[in-house]
Amino acid sequence: MKILKIILIINYIILFINIIYIGKKNILFNIKNVDYKFYIFNKFSYKNISYFLNKKYIINFFKCSVSQNIKNNNSIKKKVKIYFSDFNYSLYRKMQIMKIKEILREKFDISINRENPDYLFYNVFGCEYLNKKYKNAIKIAYYTENQLVDFNIADYAVGQANLNYLDRYLKIPYVIGYYNSFNNSKFLLIRKLVLNRLSRKKFCAAVISNYHRNSRFRLKFIYELDKYKKVDMGGRYNNNIGKIKDKILFLSNYKFSIAMENSEGDGYFSEKIIDSFLAGTIPIYYGNYLMDEYINPKSYILIRGENDIKDKIEYIKKIDNNVELYKKIMKENILIDLKFNEKMEKQKYEFLYNIFEQDKYQAKRVDKYVWKNN
């Protein structure tokens, strides 16, 4: 607990230093190269530190606090067996699993049981959840990708799609987790920093690593925008400037950046727009038409399909040639509701507790009566 507090204090000290750093940039460190200053600001700020903390400390902190919870009142808790299948075990998804366990252990005595779980959480990275040995388990789809849930298989689901299915579905835009009040301050500071070097910024850049048929729209848009001014491509696909070492640092040299999803989806969006904000650019976005529920529509440019390309390119030209308009957009807040994360966490607790507090048979939603006879 002490380590976690110390680390959080360090985070805020770094933020405070960054505030001074921006205001007194010619005095602090006495660095003349503005691009290098931006690199220092971004490299040693919250995004990188939080990744380190998650990997080294926070997971262990959760484990310790959870263990203590279990010791405190294990005897009166309902015993439940759970298992997680078909998760791609990246650090991000490990954190999702740890969070689910943390929530459940506050009220339940949980154990991990692969062979005969009462409740099965599953993701999109496999099909183990279809195994017959899980036919009696309450199945909870926990989707972090742009895929729709099959409610003929899942009793419950958590995802980003814009659905409403009574108590069976919880919509959570996972990526909004980056936009807590702390990071919102960081984004605004980054934007203030880049405005001080606006005259040195180039036009627009994109980082695209893979091509598939769903990428055609964004490539068409880039092709049309490139007719106005060159769009620098720094990814593996269609690279026209050579290899880049750091995506955020690369994008920070540009006024605009392409932040287009691989596919459309009302509710789903990835880290692409976040990276654009982190780099201090104006994102040119395509994918989730409901983004305005969370992100201030005045802080980025939303492309609504092919019929919108011509008008939005004219708008981009207007911004590119009007310094005051560009600055006005860059000074906009990013997140609409700074308390959204708190509300989202509360929704997670309520959703999971509703499932687990019911009798197992009552909680079943798929083939409920057939399941009972089996």
Give pLDDT tens digits for 195-244. Answer: 777 888 999 999 987 766 657 888 889 999 999 999 999 888 788 888 88
Residue appearing with tokens 């279990």: 70
C-alpha–C-alpha distance, residues 196 and 224, integer Å: 30
What is the architecture, at CATH level 2, of domain 198-330?
Answer: 3-Layer(aba) Sandwich (3.40)
CA distance 52 to 99: 17
The answer as to CATH 3.40.50.11650 being correct for domain 77-180+339-374 is: yes
pLDDT digits 0-9 by tens, 70-93: 445 455 889 999 999 998 767 667
Q: What pLDDT was estimated at residue 30?
A: 38
Tracing tokens 């015993």 back to the chain, one arrives at 79
Please determine whether the domains at 77-180+339-374 and 198-330 fall in the same fold group of CATH.
Answer: yes
- Supply the DSSP symbol for 358: S
Q: Average pLDDT in the 338-351 region?
A: 85
Spans of all domains in the chain:
1-75, 77-180+339-374, 198-330
What's the pLDDT score for residue 324? 93
